[in-house]
Structure formats: structure tokens, C-alpha cells
Chain A
Amino acid sequence: MSSIIIASDSPETGRRIADETAKFLGYTYMDPEDVLSAVATKRNLDKDKLKKVLDTLPSSFGRTSRVWRQWLAFIQEATLGRLMEDQMVCHGLAAHLYVMGVSHILKVRIITSEMERLQILASQRDISADKAKKIMKRMEKQRHQWCLQAFQMDETDPSRYDLVISLNQITAKEAVKTIAGVIKYKKFKPMTYSIKCLEDLELESRVRASIIKDHPEASVTARDKTITVKVKTLKRERKKKTAAIKELVGGIDGVDYVEVHFINDIVRQAAESFR
């Protein structure tokens, strides 16, 4: 069955709409806390630190950007895994930035009035409206940077979504009803093709999560259980790298065949030729 991804400029509002939509439709609300707990347990990580990956830039994360990318890949893997289940409503795991081209997943962005966001921020931090405004501007800028660094995307671009609803005049209840009405359209019915697209994305994320530590620069694509891994390497290292990647990936559940493609590492090649 279909699923819904909700993104919002206000995490609190996004969560509320996602939760209410799930209740309205009888779908499962994919609580980000549960997903993060599962990742933390599986990977033996500190959950609070893991959570920070979702709103902190690598520069202020306190660990290397390599670790930041790894942990992000783990979250992605877990989220996509949950989206394989039926009738999910997902929010707060940045799924709108990495779940692409799956026709049975409806993507909605909820926009909250600036006033409401300011009020939430001021009451959460017990600060004045002026200070809240300054902090909010900084947070918006940081969020924009985060999206670019994590997925090279602008999340405010409306063309990323099926629907954008502003809560300036439309109430939350009405927005929920609209989303619930849209998901019933036949076009959001899962089909062999859309299920395959989601399976490919999920497998891709699992493979990526399992090789990212050893091959952080590798790009992974999955199609029909065939995995293509592209890595930068020197000519003389190709054989060794192919064997290592095939060993890592070949055993992953759902993988039938592994192809390793190489891109010449011109920088390392040039550096070595000057030695």
C-alpha cells in the first residue's frame, strides 16, 4: 500500500501533521525516535549523538565528516527499511531528500507561519521574540547548508514535492484531510514498478551502509538485485579493491550480482608520479 513522507519548516508541526494523518488514515506513524533507537542499538552508537547528525553540519558535529556521512547512511538504511512496510507516514528523518521516484509515496511539504515558528522557538528556549527571530534566521541558513551538504538539494524547492500546503490560513485538520484525500488517488497505488524502485533504493542504502566505512567515496546503485559500485582508485589497486568490495557486498541479503567500476584517481596518480 501507499506511504506518505511529510517535510516541514517546523519539526513540531511536521510531527503533528504526520501523527494526525497516520491516525486519520489508520496508517503507522514512523516515529523517528524508534528508528534512531534501532540504529543506535544495531550499530552500537550513542543515540543522542546519532540524532545530531540530522540537524548538525559536519563542521560542528564534533566528529569527522566521514563519521557524519557514515551515520547518515545508517539512518537512511533504517528509514528505507521501514518504508518497505505498508502504509507508513514518515517525518523527521530527511526521507524527502533521498526517497526519489517511488510513485506510491506521496511527498508533502507543510509550511508554518513565521509567527508560529517564532512562538514555538521563544517558548521552547524561553527567549524574547527578537532573539528568537535572529536564532530562527540562523537555523534556516544552517538547515539549507545541511541539505546541500547531505544530499546536494534545496528542500524548499516545491518541485521536490507532490503538494505544498501552507498553514497560514488552512488549518492543520484541513491539511490532514487534504493529504488523506490525495493518498486515496489511484496513482498512489503501489505497482510492480514502484515497489521495485523502492526495493532498489532500500538495497542500495543497505549496501552503501555496509561499505561506507572502508570505501567512503564509493557510489552505489542497485537495479534488480545487481549492484554497481563506482570507486576512485589507482590502476594497480583495482584487483585488490574489486575483491574486497565483492566480498563485502556479495554476502548481503538480496544481492545477486556485484559489478565494480573504477574512476581513475587522477589526484593520487599525479601525486605518486612526483614522488
Chain B
Amino acid sequence: MPEKLKVLVLDDEPIVGKRLKPALSKIGCEVEVFEEPKSALTRIEEKEFDIVVTDIRMDEIDGMEVLDYVAKRWPRTKVVMITGYAMMALAREAMEKGAFDFIAKPFKPDDLRRVIAKAAKALGRPIDFDTDSK
């Protein structure tokens, strides 16, 4: 059986993690959810995730810093940014810094699953989800 895709979800709104964990587990991901950026970074320091999904606007440490940190620590990891304050400038900044994708909230679980599947494909570990439907 192929190894599960290791995904870290970081969002300071508890509801996001609660919704995303089952949605991603369903497509065969092993999901760890964090609400505190600091504890997420501690975990990232010790474990190489395949995909990190992070909110952008958070207290203390924002998602852009998380992106920088992951890019330095684990260059292979794909980072997906999610935000309720999507704007063109922010989206471009995230992509320039090396984000794999950028999604505006609210989104449907399928939207994120589609992005995760795309990232899995880019990592050379495709999962069973229709990425071409969009």
C-alpha cells in the first residue's frame, strides 16, 4: 500500500481544521491540524510534510512567514495558501515567494481536494481524485 500523503493544516479558526481534516482524510491524506502558528512551526521543524495548507492572516506569525519557513526548511514541500482577504497583490506576492497555490475563502472541500491532488501529482505521487475536472 502506498505511503499516505502527509498534510499539515494551519488555521487559527478551529472550524477550518475541523472541516478539512475529514475532507482530506477521505482522499487518503494523513492530516495534522494546528491553530497556533508557533506550534505548527515546531512540528514543521521536526517533520517533513508533503503539503502544508496555511491561512495567511493570523496573529503573531502570518502565513507568508510560514511559507518562507517551509521553503527554507523543506524545499520539496508544497505550500497552499488560504485566505479570507484575497487580493491580487497578496496572491502575486504568495506565488512569487514560491506558494504552490492560493485559494480564497470560503471554498468548498472539493476545491481544496482538487488542489491537494494537483500538488500530489506535482510531487510525483498522484492520488485518486479528478484533477482535470476544472
Contact = CB atoms under 8 A, between A and B. Distances in A.
Q: In the complex, is A directly touching B at CB under 8 Å? A: yes
B36 interface: no
Contacts of A191: 91, 95, 99, 101-103
Interface in A192-244: 192-197
A187 B94 CA distance: 8
B95 A189 contact: yes
Interface in B72-106: 86-88, 91-93, 95-96, 98-99, 101-104
A134 interface: no
A103 B103 contact: no
A160 to B, nearest CB: 13
Looking at A185, A189, A192, the one whose CB has the most chain B CB atoms below 10 A away is A192
Contacts of A103: 88, 91-92, 95
A101 interface: yes
Contacts of B65: none
B96 A193 contact: no
Contacts of A188: 92, 95
Contacts of B45: none
Contacts of B101: 191-192
Interface string A173-189: 00000000000011111
A101 B86 CA distance: 10
Given A185-B96, A186-B96, A187-B93, A192 B88 contact: no
B86 A193 contact: yes
Interface string B98-134: 1101111001000100110000000000000000001
Contact of B92 (A187, A192, A195, A196): A187
Contacts of B95: 103, 186-189, 191
A102 B95 CA distance: 13
Contacts of A196: 104
A222 to B, nearest CB: 14
A197 B96 CA distance: 19
Interface string B11-37: 000000000000000000000000000
Contact of A192 (B87, B96, B98, B103): B103
A185 B95 CA distance: 9
Nearest to B98: A186
Contacts of A197: 88
Interface in A78-110: 101-103
Contacts of A189: 95
A102 B102 CA distance: 13
B86 A192 contact: no
A15 B19 CA distance: 49
A188 B95 CA distance: 8
A254 B89 CA distance: 27
Contacts of B88: 101-103, 194, 197
B91 A194 contact: yes
A195 B115 CA distance: 13
A193 B96 CA distance: 15
B32 to A, nearest CB: 22
Contact of B103 (A101, A185, A187, A193): A193
A3 to B, nearest CB: 14
A101 to B, nearest CB: 5
B111 A192 contact: yes
A193 B90 CA distance: 11
A243 to B, nearest CB: 29
Looking at B86, B95, B115, the one whose CB has the most chain A CB atoms below 10 A away is B95
Given A103-B88, A187-B96, A193-B103, 8 more contacts: A103-B91, A191-B99, A191-B101, A192-B101, A192-B102, A193-B86, A194-B91, A197-B88
